[in-house]
Amino acid sequence: MILKRIFKGIFGGLWRFFTKPFRWLWKLFIRIVRGLWAFCAKPFKVVKDKVLDLYYNLKGKVNQNIRWELIVIFGICLSLSFIFFTLTNSFFSKPRSYSEINYQNSIRQMSNVALEIGYNLDNKKISIKDSKTISEVLNNHNDDSSNKILIVDESGKVIYKTNNAEETHLDMHAVIRNAMSFKNGYDQGRDYDSSMGEFITFYPVGFSDSRAYVVLKGSPRGDIETKYYTQQRSFFALVLSVIFFIVIFYFITGRKVRYIQEIALGVMYIAKGQLNFRIDQKGEDELANLAQNINFMTGELRDKIEKERELEKTKGELITNVSHDLRTPLTSILGYLNLIKDSKYSDKEEMMEYIDIAYNKSEKLKILIDELFEYTKITSDGIKLNLTEIALTELIEQLTEEFVPIFEENKINVTKDLLKESIKVTADGDKLARVFENLIVNAIRYSYKPGDIRITLDKVEDYALFSISNRGDNIKEEDLDKIFERFYRLEKSRAEITGGSGLGLAISKSIINLHGGEIWAESKDNIITFFVKISTK
């Protein structure tokens, strides 16, 4: 076992030692191959990336334009129809046959006979007077008795001829012209016609003592041949291709047509008052944009209608609340004035008491009318803010000092926790001061007596955060947002001694909204806190 391990270790070491150069060369070869592959494939990769970019760009443009979508669909349907026509045309196009008389073989044989006679006579180098030899040559090549073979000298005189030939003299000029005319017609594709007369061909011959022509005349024999041809285009295949195009185009464009119908149906539902209906947005083209715009229009229309309904509702509430809040002090004023008018008082001191009461009621009536007018002005769309840079810390310090007598009168202790660093905000100083005044008055009115009020001002990121807290009756969660509504009061009877007009917090919220800020309230463990958040940018 030990010897086996020793032998295995020695053999393995020798193997690794001798194969190390080969392994190194193999790794080098692999690296070279990979490098060459990467180098050679780089241009193709660039081209592939360019093609893919072009494809995705075109695809994006086509998906965003319904006109290009229809053009592409039309092109696809047309290409498929062409392929369909090619397949069906080869199937429905049947081969057809016709018969015709072919003179080409006979004419070729006649020309070859004249050529052979002239070639044989040229090779024999005989005299033109060797009638025996010439006659043998003529008779050997006269297999067709309908053909006339003539030996004609340069003047046109017939020297030798076959037995069926009667001519004694030929007009060589007419013979040459006839042969050339036939050749031209044959080259232009015209076949032989019996109306053309006899076919004439000739070949010049050189005898040892003279020159002459071999002239062969005769009517070619026609061979009846049956030819086949395939009809190029099938009308039935064309009709099928048109039907195929219509069907394919119908099914491919069916999705777009159904989407148009869906949009039209959605518009009909919306027109009937179903303002919560929404059309699904499919794709990225003009139809999708149309559906998106219709949905946006429907949402805006619904919001406006709901706002108008809310305005109608609040208008009724406004009339009811204003009537109640105005009628109560006005009734008291009229009552005391009637007592004075009817002299229903015991002495002048009692009369002055009636006058003071009527005057105080008139003051409260004026305050209510002023607040109503201010709220109407602030909530109108045409209100403009007089924006200036305001030191918020100093403003709150000043307002707090102005309320010191009222705090002392209501036995309220005020604790201030204001940031020592001056906080600057861009705002309308008068309107912002009105917000803080309303919140301080509200805290005094609803605070336990004696009690405590805590006023804080801090900076959180890019916002100034103001808060005012007082101990009082807890406000229900559902009432925390409603307290900022106009004429909303926690005391439902709207008694004069338990609250104000119900417009103070509504005015404050409108002013903060105009400044792009936030105002909200929190209530926990009999501590009510109002927060105001304004940007310092």
User: Would you kindly state where each structural domain of the chain is located, as residue ranges?
Assistant: 2-63, 102-227, 384-535
Closest by CA position to 221, among listed 241, 244, 198: 198
Beta-bridged to residue 470, according to DSSP, are 453, 528
Q: Which long-range contacts (CB under 8 A, 24 or more apart) does 297-304 make?
A: 298/270, 301/275, 302/275, 302/276
pLDDT attached to residue 454: 93
> For the segment 415-445, what is each residue's pLDDT rounded down to a tens digit?
988 888 888 888 888 888 888 888 998 888 8
Cα(149)–Cα(143) distance, rounded to whole angstroms? 11
Global model pTM greater than 0.75: no
Quote the CA–CA distance of 491 and 512 in Å, as a whole number: 25
Q: What is the pLDDT of residue 14?
A: 64
CATH superfamily label, 102-227: PAS domain (3.30.450.20)
> Which phi and psi angles does 284 have, rounded to 5°?
-130, 5
Residue in the block written with tokens 């101990």: 471
CATH superfamily for 384-535 is: Histidine kinase-like ATPase, C-terminal domain (3.30.565.10)
pLDDT at 497: 44
Name residues of the chain where pLDDT drops below 70: 1-20, 22, 55, 59, 62-63, 93-98, 144, 183-197, 227-233, 311, 314-326, 328, 371, 374-383, 486-502
Long-range contacts of 262-269 (CB under 8 A, 24+ apart): 263/287, 263/290, 263/291, 263/294, 266/291, 266/294, 267/294
pLDDT tens, position by position, 352-394 = 888 888 887 787 777 777 767 766 666 655 567 788 888 888 9
Q: What is the DSSP annotation of 279-320?
A: ----SSSHHHHHHHHHHHHHHHHHHHHHHHHHHHHHHHHHHH
Q: Which two tokens stand for residue 471?
A: 């101990």
The two three-digit tokens of residue 522, written as one number: 């929190």
Q: How far is CA 138 from CA 114, 135, 149, 166, in A?
A: 10, 5, 7, 15
